[in-house]
Amino acid sequence: MVQQSNGAFDPLIGYTSEPEEENSGGLVNYYLVVVNQPQRKGQEPYQAECEDIIDALELTFDEANIFKEIWRTANARNGKIKSGHTSLRAAEKIHHYAGRILRKAQTPVSKK
């Protein structure tokens, strides 16, 4: 089993202490997730990094911001919290970036 990187976690009851908020422009634990039961038969447990998935999928700027916000919201429920994170702020950010994607999709691309 891969160890959770944010301290006191019990798989049966969750976090046994108050989650610690993080805020940094660098590498932080709220962008990591442990996959203990991968979907692929025979695959070993592993730790995934949000940025690696964004790069591997070649997400656009707007897609990446939506993906990161969903990731942060889900991880906040599991005790890995970005300082200042609220579900309202997350929903507003997702709405903003989804609106950008929608406007781009509705705007015909002009050929020069």
Residue 73 in domain: yes
Residue 41 in domain: yes
Residue 82 in domain: yes
Say if residue 33's pLDDT is above 90.
Answer: no
* pLDDT, greater one: 104 or 83: 104
Strand partners, 22: 82
Residue 3 in domain: no
Say if residue 3's pLDDT is above 50.
Answer: no
Distance (Å, whole) CA 76 – CA 29: 11
- Domain residues for the domain of 64 are 9-106
What is the residue type of 104?
K
pLDDT digits (tens, 9 = 90+) for 63-103: 999 999 999 898 888 888 888 888 999 999 999 999 999 99
The bridge status of strand 46-49 relative to strand 32-35 is antiparallel
Residue 71 in domain: yes
Whether the predicted model's global pTM rises above the 0.95 cut: no
Query: What total of structural domains would you count in the chain?
Result: 1
Residue 4 in domain: no
